[in-house]
Structure 1
């Protein structure tokens, strides 16, 4: 039959086509859509109320159920082919669509478009929303003024890697005040030499002790200061890329409560692993009863903007002995 005669065969038909291969991995709807359009039928991309016919073959279960509930014609691809070959509107009841719901394999098999795609792991580097949240959290937690008070037990100079204690600043300030008072007393007393020895003795003892402690603390470096600070927990990273390491450092810096170190030590309570490799830090962490956690824990802490429970992210399946933790780390 000619194309001109074919153009009016299915006039008034609004069809929704859901045709797939037998293994439900390939969509074969396109050629049948073309044939229907050549016969004058309108094609609906969605199963709307205007649809009068559903061409179905190994399609979605939701389409089948909706078509059964609706007052539409549910036909197979054979009906489209017969109408196209004969050039007439063939009776739909001669070519009903079939759906093998009794086969559990075909019934539960998902279509390719419904299967989850292999997407990269979400990190602040490749996820704009997570990066924006991290930046906002860092901005909210940034100090409004210089830390000249004793709000925090330590101040870390990230560029030089030196740890300063506000107590040293206070001791320097008090020493300067005592020095000023001493000078004023000397100016007021015409015989200030008698008191000079007593005051000077007290003054020379206090600053010298502070200076000695200051020199010791600076010479020991940041790691010694962290170990000396009571109650400071440390966290160790292992088997991680540079991007993940930067994320961990930023989250720890924003939420506080931990100091990141390279190796498991006495103060280590958490070991965060980027893979399932059994590294030395993993073994030492298990021996010390530390939490052995996946990188997902860090991401969800970032998502919640607080430290969350560790249990769901513990690598107990990969490292069964990690379940036995020391009582010192609840």
Structure 2
């Protein structure tokens, strides 16, 4: 039975959160523990991933339409429900969980078609326009939760947000058994993509990245070979499906060159202004299908969580560094700092 009012575990003495007041200025704020409103839950954060988007927020390089200062960043996180608001069942307290980031309206045409990442009500996302997971607690609508088993590894589960993005890309690419598949980029997105693509039994699964250090991990995850960008030029026109994950200035254009005539290309990396464009002549003559992915709809979250809970997806080996909230600045500096030994960076409250 749904309780008439909020249920909760004993509250902590205050709740800490990183607040970026404006680009380049942040503080670790201790305030009251936030309370969930009607239809919401409060989650005690176990771990939160730091990605290049978080660095863009801190440095002021994110498009103004996609961030609202002051903000508590953190869109990749996992935790345990420790309070529920009115209208939410108390049985959720104590459940391990992750949650979708987009605050989709659920009633527009795109949402009703299942394309919640294309919600026409406007952009609204945890960690960018709403307080995120770089905190002791985060409050989210209960409808966005994806519950995990009681024994789920919450450290690894913090990577389910990028895994959902990759799941959206893989589903868009529609890989078939025996296909020749390339993944451009061996960062977090690329290596998660390798795991999901390997489950589709490709005939070839080639990873393209200049960092030799990433090759071993890619092979462990199911890649059949790893090549540098210069070596990959010999494979132009070879692949049935190319999944781009790097977001580098030239990788959208080069990914299209890797695809065979009539092949498919899915762009997942976040590109900056000035990136090389796709040659429209090559695009039309080769009859390529090109898709892009920004965020993940609810269906992709369900896909990623199921892959994680059944053991098809294991993000844990990607994590190389963990910092407490007090060392947020160090964590941000490490992400995108150029150290080839840096994989996924976590904050753990």
| Higher relative contact order (CA closer than 8 Å, sequence separation 6+) | 2
Q: Which has the higher helix share?
A: 1
TM-score range, shorter chain: under 0.3
Over alpha carbons, which structure has the higher Rg? Answer: 1
Q: Which has the higher strand share?
A: 2
